[in-house]
Structure 1
Amino acid sequence: MFTDYKEKDSFETSITSSVYSIEETEKSGLYKALWGKHYRKFYSKDVRAKVAFIDTLKGGLTPVRRGGGHQSKSLRLETKDGKQYVMRALRKSAIKFLQSTAFQDKYVEEELEGSYADDFLSDFYTTAHPYTPTVVATLSDAVDVFHTNPELYYIPKQEALGEYNDEYGDELYLIEERVESGHKDLASFGKPKDILSTSDVLQEINKTGKSIVDEPSYIRARLFDMLIGDWDRHEDQWRWALFEKEDGTEICKPIPRDRDQAFSTFDGAILNFLNHAVPSLRMMQSFDNDLRSPKWFSFEPYPLDMTFINKSNWEDWEREAKTLETGLTDEVIERAFENIPEEMKGETIEGIKRKLKGRRGNIVDIARRYYEFTNEHAVITGTQKSDTFNVTRHADGKTTIEVHRKDLDVFTRTFNKEETKEIWIYGLDGKDTFNVTGDGDNLITIKILGGKKNDTYNFENIKKVKLYDYKGKDNTIVNKKSKKWLVDDYEINNYDYKKRKYGINQILPIIGANPDDGFQIGFTNNYTTYGIQRNPFTTRHSVSASYYTGNSGYDLSYKGEFSNIFHNWNFGIEAKYTSPNCANFFWIW
């Protein structure tokens, strides 16, 4: 155990320190051109931070356990009355990330230390500004978004850390409340009845239909993510404040946490190319006056958005966007950035503030673009009990969907074909009844998935509606002409909130050379769709074109694959045209 720590009285009340050393942030001009400048120089710049000893901080804290993140080096601390805090190092651990993701079955931390992968990932982390998490609380307060309250400290190795001195101490940390039930009295959490995890909320909604997410609060929180450029908003980045209303029903309001990716910048030629070419990286968009693509920026939280926002129309979204636009005044922004260490202030911080004010002016347009994207496809769920789903077709492309369970109105909304092209309805458990009535026109496509028990399908209007269920169980299909797909396939029939309808387009260059044809220059465009039936996708189309300098020739090709033409059987087609002999090939497999 580490015991070579200094005594408390040998420290001043504050100390200067940096996240990285100067040697770690020194990069060549070529490196910066290819990989970007990021916020690299601020990681090796000294700041003055308060020195803290955990046995006197917050009335006295005791280490409880190491944090469980893939890259953050964090330690849970607890007060005498059971309230927990998190001590998170500003220096992220690239080795910890590699060990927990790429090398789960083999211990490699010692081998990776100081390796190129370690250095590269450590440098990549400089895309996020190390000190901007300290400004988010003030910004959040101004627009009524719940938040933690991170504070910057220098934590020396000390007796109170005990066995944790081997891994923690002698560096800069942010200390904030751990978002859990011990902080139910905290104003910035709304002083709720309880604090839940995302999985708790999902289970409660599907189980009873009573505990619902407060959509205005969640929309506002998500638009706030877009406003500050915080792209890392996966399921575990949320906790939920539970409140009981006067009528006895419960609502949940979001508590976002871990704001370390706000105001990120992804400059450099290679990162810029990868950001456009690799779909999973498109959410990493540099903070600027506008948000280039709300759709891709929200790649991680999109399933949650589709699950928690299903009753709100554009007027609801616009109201929350304008709340941000008017609430986040210039004075609030200036006051928030006063929390940044003095040594960090200057041209870069002024630039972030200008961009934030610019994005504030674009937030209604950003909200509109994301609203239109999320409403192209809707997903509606019942409860684990027996529900009745009434689908009523109207004129002018409108469809009303109502979900009832005995005396409880679970859901009601009228959709318009101009906004919504397809709706998936999941009955979940219970003996559910699905009624489709009304003639209507310009119909929205509806796909209904009953679940595991005997469900009743009564489709008076069978146009643009299809049912999916298990072949091996009893179902009651009143209209025998109803379109159906009955297969004993768990992946198709089971509800998974992360399963959503979407498409990915990817354009990649083709560059090559050979003695006969000379240089080859071209491209490949791959478009892949994901719907209910996947094996492992729904459709994939690939178009390629190349030009050859040696003979002025060219070729064009197409490949297509369509899943589940028959259950677990895909259909493929391929065609190719090549000059100068005009050979034309066509086959299927």
Structure 2
Amino acid sequence: MRKGIRGFALFIIILLIVVFIVPNVFNSREEKAFSNEARLEQARESYQLHRLGDSITTSISDFYDRSKFAETFLGIHYRKMWHTPISLPVLDLAKFEGGLTYQKLGGGQQTTSADVNSKSGLAYTIRSVNKDQSKALPPIMQYSLARPMFRDQASALNPFGAIITAQLENALGLLHTSPKMYFVPYDSTWHNDFLIHLSGRAVIIEEEPGDEWINKPTFETAYKIVDTDEMIAAWQQSSINIDKQNYLKCRLFDMLVSDWDRHSGQWAWAFIKTKTGNMAKPIPMDRDMAFYKFDDGILNHLALAINHKFQSYNPEYDDVSGLMKNSKELDLKILSSVSQDDFLYQARQIKEQLTPTIISKAFSVYPEEIYAEYGQKHIEIFNQRLKNIEVLAESFYQLLNSDD
């Protein structure tokens, strides 16, 4: 009996060492990838703005370059896309849009970002391409083996997804931001907080829809731009109508590119004057999950068995209900009165508007080195998903109007 107790105690001790001690001792790789201090020092030594040209060859992150053994458990994902060296333009704050002025740090739980204003007062966001998904863990688990495992799963994200979707949204006549990828160098004249959090990183810079963009053609000369809560409140007070057909088209497009994370916080709304009254048009934002690839690796299959929302960019729509999970509450509010015929009509509109030329042009935004590996594959997947978009629309309608 005592021997069994001692054996169990020894097992618990070893387990605690593996789970809580080892990841915090043998973590030089993590430190290099996620430490602000290490990255800032490297930027200060190697990436001085005045020493760089207009572009730099670098990888977005080497952290996701793993062994075949690790890939078996954690998945292949888009690892090659993340660690392949590519050419990125160097961001000079003094030159972009006449000069950018730092306002404050922003970002969500996993992304580092900075709010900046152009010389003319337009608002932009500069956000890190790489994410720290371990920040979604409870505090105690951020010191455990779960931390490096969660961080690794950012490799399921397509770092160019937001740039590709903007090209396609433009062809569909949807409002959207126009993200561009840059490399942030070091310049001692810039704000210290900006340098600490973003210097030495690959970033996305894009418009931040809000008051600064009122009456600008970028967002259809909207007289007001608000978040979802404010839009819903105005709608319930009958001071605004929602462009439900436009929202439906956005949602079908979300599913086409396998962007499963479309909760209410992922939208801004442009209030536009029309002949029939004031209309709220959706502005989809935060396209980090577009073209997601999660369904490889032993651990990921276990995760999908628990939570089916992590839908991957495959030729077939694996689970439409998973693509709806984060957005169903908002979908029900806006689309409950929309007919199945409308669902099918918007699906056909997307199919007609996204021609082979437009699709090819959209995926050509991949850097040459990335396109060689992924370009044609992703076009073929896209075409197969587009071919079946009417079936998707029918499933979406039926699931939304079911009793479950």
TM-score (norm 1): 0.59
RMSD: 2.1
Unaligned runs of 5+ in 1: 378-501, 503-589
Question: What is the alpha-carbon distance in structure 2 between the residues aligned to residue 89 and residue 376 of structure 1?
Answer: 39
TM-superposition CA deviations, 1:106-161 (whole Å, max 9, x none): 8x98xx4xx63332122100101112321111101111111111111111122343
Matched, 1:362 2:388: yes
Aligned to 1:260: 288
Aligned to 2:179: 150
Shift of 1:10: 1.2
Aligned to 1:84: 123
Aligned to 1:132: 161
TM-superposition CA deviations, 1:230-258 (whole Å, max 9, x none): 111111100001112225x3211110001
Letter in 1 for 2:131: K
Shift of 1:80: 2.9
Aligned to 1:33: 72
Letter in 1 for 2:209: V
Aligned to 1:309: 335
TM-superposition CA deviations, 1:164-192 (whole Å, max 9, x none): 21222112111111121212344442221
Q: Flag the 1:166–1:354 CA change in 2: closer, same or farther, 3 A.
A: same
User: Which gives a bigger RCO, structure 1 or 2 (Cα 8 Å, sep 6+)?
Assistant: 2
TM-superposition CA deviations, 1:397-456 (whole Å, max 9, x none): xxxxxxxxxxxxxxxxxxxxxxxxxxxxxxxxxxxxxxxxxxxxxxxxxxxxxxxxxxxx
Question: What is the alpha-carbon distance in structure 1 between the residues aligned to residue 226 and residue 65 of structure 2?
Answer: 44
Letter in 2 for 1:215: K
**Contact 1:139/1:332, CA 8 A, preserved across alignment:** yes
Question: Where do 1:70-469 residues align within 5 Å?
Answer: 70-95=109-134, 97-98=135-136, 102-103=138-139, 112=143, 116-164=145-193, 165-206=195-236, 208-247=237-276, 249-266=277-294, 267-275=296-304, 277-278=305-306, 281-377=307-403
Letter in 2 for 1:365: V
Shift of 1:8: 3.5
Shift of 1:303: 0.4
Residue of 103, 124, 133 corresponding to 1:64 = 103
Matched, 1:17 2:58: yes
Q: Flag the 1:102–1:215 CA change in 2: closer, same or farther, 3 A.
A: same
**Contact 2:65/2:83, CA 8 A, preserved across alignment:** no
Letter in 2 for 1:205: W
3-state SS, counterpart of residue 27 of structure 1? coil
3-state SS, counterpart of residue 270 of structure 2? strand
Shift of 1:329: 1.0
Question: What is the alpha-carbon distance in structure 2 between the residues aligned to residue 121 and residue 161 of structure 1?
Answer: 32
Question: What is the alpha-carbon distance in structure 2 between the residues aligned to residue 160 and residue 179 of structure 1?
Answer: 28
Question: What is the alpha-carbon distance in structure 2 between the residues aligned to residue 307 and residue 345 of structure 1?
Answer: 39
**Contact 1:157/1:168, CA 8 A, preserved across alignment:** no
**Contact 1:89/1:171, CA 8 A, preserved across alignment:** yes
**Contact 2:97/2:119, CA 8 A, preserved across alignment:** no
Question: What is the alpha-carbon distance in structure 1 between the residues aligned to residue 132 and residue 259 of structure 2?
Answer: 20
Aligned length: 361
Letter in 2 for 1:9: H
TM-score (norm 2): 0.84
3-state SS, counterpart of residue 161 of structure 1? coil
Question: Where do 1:527-538 residues align within 5 Å?
Answer: none
**Contact 2:78/2:158, CA 8 A, preserved across alignment:** yes
Question: What is the alpha-carbon distance in structure 1 between the residues aligned to residue 337 and residue 124 of structure 2?
Answer: 36
Shift of 1:82: 2.1
**Contact 2:177/2:285, CA 8 A, preserved across alignment:** yes
3-state SS, counterpart of residue 285 of structure 1? coil
Aligned to 1:381: none
Return the structure number with greater strand share: 1
Question: What is the alpha-carbon distance in structure 2 between the residues aligned to residue 235 and residue 356 of structure 1?
Answer: 26
Letter in 1 for 2:60: V
Question: What is the alpha-carbon distance in structure 2 between the residues aligned to residue 83 and residue 154 of structure 1?
Answer: 21
**Contact 1:131/1:341, CA 8 A, preserved across alignment:** no
Question: What is the alpha-carbon distance in structure 1 between the residues aligned to residue 218 and residue 347 of structure 2?
Answer: 21
Question: What is the alpha-carbon distance in structure 1 between the residues aligned to residue 360 and residue 348 of structure 2?
Answer: 20
Q: Flag the 1:93–1:274 CA change in 2: closer, same or farther, 3 A.
A: closer
Unaligned runs of 5+ in 2: 1-36
Q: Flag the 1:30–1:170 CA change in 2: closer, same or farther, 3 A.
A: closer
Query: What percentage of residue pairs aligned between the two structures are identical?
Result: 26
Moved more, 297-306 or 159-168: 159-168
